Amino acid sequence: MTEHSEPSRAATAVGTGHVAIRPSILYVGTPVMLIASQNPDGTTNLAAASSYWALGQMLVIGLEDGGQTIDNVLALPELTVNFPQPELWEAVEAIGDTTGMSPVPLAKTPRYRHVADKFAAAGLTPQASEAVNPPRVAECALQLEAVVRRVTPGLGEYNLVEAEVTRVHAAPEIVVPGTEHIDPRAWRPMIYSFRHYFGLGAEHGHRPTSDIAGRTP
C-alpha cells in the first residue's frame, strides 16, 4: 500500500541481515476489540480479541474453539465489535484470562477462569444496541453492530467469522464535523502487539483516497 506523501530520500534497510525466528505468537500489531454476544440464557458475554480485518462493510474475525463467543454466534448470529481507546487497557486485561464457559473446558483450565458478568469484571457499561441483541460497550468511542453471515472452521483450533456491519456508532469527538467520516487524527485505537498494549503515534502520511486529507485538524 503506497502512502500519499513524499517518499523518503534516505530510506535504509533495517539492518545488515535478518534472523530467522519462530515467535510463539504473530500479533504484529492489530486493534483490540471487545466482542459482545448473547448467551443462551439471554445474558451477555464480553470477550477481548485482536484477530480481525475488514473489507468494505464486512468483518472477518478469528475466534478460538471452545469459547463462549463462538458458541454464542453460532446459536444467535449477532454481535457487537467495540474498539477501546488505549487508556482502557486495564479493563481489557481484566477479562483477558476469563471465559464465559462453565465449567471451564479442560484445555483452558491452566490459564482461564469462569466469569459470568464480564462487564462488571472489566468495570465497563453495557449500552443497548439498535439493530442487534448484544449490547455495545459504552466506554468505547467506536462501536459496530454486526450480523454473522458465515462461520468457517480454520486449519487450527479457531474459526473465521464473517460478519456484516449493520450500524456504526462513533463518539462525536472522533467524527469530522458535518460528515460521516471518522477523523483518524482524533481517533486513537488500542493496538495489541506481541502481548503489549499501545496507542498510535504521529501520522506519517495518507492515501490519496483519504476522506479528510487537506482538512485542518
139: CATH: 2.30.110.10
Q: Does residue 205 fall inside a structural domain?
A: no
DSSP secondary structure code for residue 107 in this structure: G
Better-predicted residue by pLDDT, 201 or 129: 129
Percent of the chain predicted with pLDDT > 90: 71
Q: What does the pLDDT average to over 133-140?
A: 98
Distance CA 191, CA 90 (A): 13
- Rounded-to-10 torsion of CA 27, 77, 92, 143: 100
Q: 182 near 170, Cβ under 8 Å?
A: yes
Domain membership of residue 71 (yes or no) is yes
- Residue count of the chain, please give it: 217
Q: What's the grid cell of residue 147? A: 450480523
Residue 3, pLDDT > 70, answer: no
| pLDDT recorded at residue 206 | 67
Side-chain half-sphere CA neighbours of 97 within 13 A: 7
Does residue 113 contact residue 99 with C-beta atoms inside 8 Å?
A: yes
Whether 24 maps to a domain, the answer reads no
Helix (H, G, I), strand (E, B) or coil at 59: strand
4-31 average pLDDT score: 74
The dihedrals phi and psi of 15, each to the nearest 5 degrees, come to -160, 180
* 92 within domain boundaries: yes
Q: Classify strands 113-114 and 98-99 as parallel, antiparallel or unpaired.
A: parallel
123 lies in a domain? yes
pLDDT at 151: 97
- Model pLDDT for residues 64-76, shown as the tens digit of each residue: 998 999 999 999 9
- pLDDT of 99 above 60: yes
**Number of domains the chain is built from:** 1
Q: Is residue 208 part of a domain?
A: no
**Sheet (strand 78-83) strand order:** 44-49, 33-38, 78-83, 142-153, 158-170, 58-64, 52-55
Does 210 map to a domain? no
pLDDT at residue 14, rounded to an integer: 67
pLDDT classification of 130: cutoffs 50, 70, 90: very high
Domain assignment of residue 135, given as a range: 30-198
Q: What pLDDT sits at residue 74? A: 97
Residue 102 in domain:
yes
pLDDT grade, residue 4 (50/70/90)? low
Lowest mean pLDDT among 4-8, 89-93, 176-180: 4-8
Residues 31, 50: contact at Cβ < 8 Å? yes
